[in-house]
Amino acid sequence: MAVHMKLHRVTRRYDGITALSEVDLEVKNGEVLTIIGPNGAGKTTLLRILALLDEPSSGEISYRGQRVDRSSVQEYRKRITMVFQRPVLFNDTVFENIAYGLRLRGLEGEEVAQRVNDALSSVMLDGFGSRPAKKLSGGEQQRVVLARALALEPELLLLDEPTANLDPTNAHIVERIIKNLRGRTTVVVATHNIFQARRLSDRVGCLLNGKIIDIDRPRNIFIKPKNEIIRKFARGEFF
C-alpha cells in the first residue's frame, strides 16, 4: 500500500511540554489507522499535526511523497478534514454547516445542495437540512459534523474520539460509516476505546507519553503482542 502521509521525527512542544516526541509515522493509502492511548498521550496533538492545523516544533511532514511547508500547507489542508472530539458547529442551519466547506471549494447552487443531501443521507439525517444545527441532540450533532466532513470527500479523514460522547445507537452508526470508507478514504481515528480499535482498524498505533511505541495489525497488538508493554497496553492497563 502506498504511503499517504508521513511524519519523520516530528516533535511538538508547547508551553514547555513535549506533547509529541520524535514521532515517525506512515499513514497508508485507504487504510483505517487507529491511534490508541490514554488521556494525555498526545493523540489530539498527533491528529492536529496530521490535519496541518499545528506546525511541528521539529521534524518533517510529507503528503503523497511531497514535503509540506508553509507555502503549500493551505493547498494540502483542503485535501484533509478533521472531526473534533466535541462537535463544533456554526451558529446556522445544518445545511449551511455542511455547505460551508463546499462553497470554499468553489461549488455553487444545485451541486452544493446535492452534496449536502447525499452527506445527510449517508449519516441517516435526511430532511434535517433546515434545522438549527446547535439545537440537535449530541448524537445528531456528531453525525452532522461527520456529514460535513464526508461532503468534502477528503482524501484523508481524521477523527478525534468520534464516539466518545455518543449513546450505543449513534456510536454504532458512526462506526458503520467509518467501516464503509475503508479503501476509498484514508482514515485516522484517535480513541481510548481499545474494543473500537479492534473492530475498526487495518492497523493500530499505540501512543504513550508522546511516543508511538508500536504500530501493527490489530491481531499483532491485541492477540499476539510482541512484548509485555504492548500486552499491558492492549489490556488497557495504561489507560
Partner 1 sequence: MSEQLLDIVLRSLWISGTALLLSLLWSLPLALILGLRRFRGRNTIISFFNAMLGVPTVALGLFLYLLFSRRGALGAFSLLYTPTAIMIGQAILITPILISLLTSAIEAVDPRIRDLARTLGASERQASLTILREARKGSILAGVSAFNRAIAELGIALMLGGNIEGLTRVMTTQIALGVNRGEIILSLEATLVLLAIVFTLTLIANRFRGD
CA distance 43 to 230: 17
CA distance 41 to 65: 27
Give the nearer residue to partner 1 in terms of CB position, either 89 or 208.
Answer: 89
Binding positions for partner 1, rule: CB under 8 A: 51, 53, 74, 77-78, 80-82, 84, 88, 90-91, 100-101, 104-105, 148, 152
- Helix/strand/coil (H/E/C) assignment for every residue in 196-208: HHHHHCCEEEEEE
CB of 119 to partner 1, least distance (A): 13
Give the nearer residue to partner 1 in terms of CB position, either 83 or 234.
Answer: 83
Give the nearer residue to partner 1 in terms of CB position, either 108 or 167.
Answer: 108
Give the nearer residue to partner 1 in terms of CB position, either 92 or 126.
Answer: 92
Count, residues in the chain: 239
- C-beta of residue 189 within 8 angstroms of C-beta of residue 162: yes
CB of 145 to partner 1, least distance (A): 9
Give the nearer residue to partner 1 in terms of CB position, either 101 or 202.
Answer: 101
CB of 148 to partner 1, least distance (A): 7
Element (H, E) at 120: helix 109-122
Residue 125, SS3 per DSSP: coil
Residues 6 or more apart whose CB falls under 8 angstroms from that of 84 comprise 145, 160
C-alpha angle 199-229-37 in degrees, rounded to nearest 5? 50
CB of 130 to partner 1, least distance (A): 15
CB of 78 to partner 1, least distance (A): 4
Residue with cell 484523508: 156
